[in-house]
Structure 1
Amino acid sequence: MGSGQRVPRPRLGGGGGGGSDTTTPPLRGGGAPPSWGGQARGGKGAGRERRGLTSVPARLGPVPSRNRPGVPVRCPSVLPGSRSAQTGMHSLTGGLGQDARPVPGAGPGAVDRFLSLQHSISSGLSAAELEAMKFLCRDKIRKRKLETVRSGLELFSILMEQQVVAHDELGFLRELLRHISRSDLLSLVEQFEQGELRAPDDQPDEHEKRLLKAAFDVIRAHVGREWKKLMRELGLPEVKLDKVEAAYRFDLEEEVFQALREWQKWRGKDAKVADLIKALQDCNLKLVADRVEEKISQVNSGTR
């Protein structure tokens, strides 16, 4: 076909098989006209042509660019809007955009209590304690996998995968913490199990906390073996008393102090020094009650 000759093309509108074809003028800039790629009107390609689609070769091939006439570009053999086209665009954008999925646990709301517990324990472990916990897990986790663990969070993740630890199954974690003598971290687990990780607005105010601390110091030094009687008068559940006694059996003052802390956590913002003084008086520990009142008076006057 000679240069500049008009190229016939099929009409896109519906009509009979007869009639002359319209022609397409040469493109601006002298480029070659596009190849329609379809068969004669009325053939297999007619349906696509009526919908404005052209048949595309199965292989990659040069087609003229609409922005720069006559300049071929490489184009994949997929139809616009097809699943393949969407998949390709997804891979090009790195999974962003409409196909992006939210990160589990993201969004508004409070931090998950179980995740917070794991983070607190992991942050409190020394390197030696982590190694000791890994050693104690050798019958639960393969040695090669244990060697890759570099933090408490990684160890907890594997234990959860093995279904050894779960938010409602923390017995093995308690045993690990007992074996490494971390009673402070063990208390976090026990608080979690009893639902006692209280929000900041469910605790005594700062002034009341100072008064309670002063009262605790007096009581732990003077109440002696009457501490369980006092705690029962305060209403602390028996299971909490047994827990404190088992953990601090050989340190009486520490038993008293930890029991008072359990009572404060149990009562939350309702823990008051006035309740301590009344309970001491009701237990006939009036001398200790007087000492507490004297200490509180000093704290309030600023003399301590």
Structure 2
Amino acid sequence: MSTTFQLDTSTSRANPTPQPMKRLTVPKIRAHKTDGQSGEPLVMLTAYTARQAQLLDAHCDLLLVGDSLGQVIYGLPSTIPVTLDMMANHAAAVVRGSYHAVVVVDMPFGSYEASKEQAFENAAFLLKQSGAAAVKLEGGAQMAETVAFLNQRGIPVMGHVGLTPQAVNVLGGYMARGRSDSEADKIVGDAKSLDEAGAFAIVIEGVVEPIAIAATRAVSCPTIGIGASAQCDGQVLVTEDMLGMFDRVPRFVKQYENIAEVIGKTVAQYAEEVRSRAFPGEPQTYQPKS
């Protein structure tokens, strides 16, 4: 594990303390792919809280504080209403809970599209407030100038092409992308534009597999697939999806556990014991000293 714990006697909470482990860096992630070839695939999962980061950190190369927190944490209908403050606060918690993985934070809708100067101001805010190492933004060739502008000013950028959730109103839904020749060409072209602009990695989401493979082979930086292909240079999932926290499982998700069922059974047992006065018992109560 990448953390140990010290008991805070004032709060009775166990706080993480760093072990002698150096955090991965953006250049190391970028260098994972050389001459078009990558080694062992990169592992990335979403994280939104300090405790979640503690549990995931030792197993991941990157932790993504995704704007998917809009739906996962806040119950919003999409990522569109997510704010900069939401992203900064959750990213700071994830940074505090991790000591190994590179923490990347999503730039929310409306925080970077107007101009490259707007993007710099808001990206700088996110990194200052959270301590994250990089930002992620959606869009292809149209965002290349912004990616280059940020990169040249010390802000590493992860790109995102294919199915871009912030553009769901334009796309008309969450269906797979790249089924037509024109759209397939655009996805590959978008990935190449971001790569040339200096993106250190690119998420390829919801793209038919041959196009995801073509895009991966077309760029020099690592690609991170989600609903794409095992031939991408890494993979990412929303942690709550792969743990089975929700009833609906997207097609591209493998559910490794059904944590919702475990929680339901555990809470049901607790409720039964409370109502029968079986809890708390003597081990959970303070008795007079003899």
Q: Which has the higher helix share?
A: 1
Greater relative contact order (Cα < 8 A, sep 6+) = 2
Higher Cα Rg, which structure = 1
TM-score (norm 2): 0.19
TM-score (norm 1): 0.19
Q: Which has the higher strand share?
A: 2
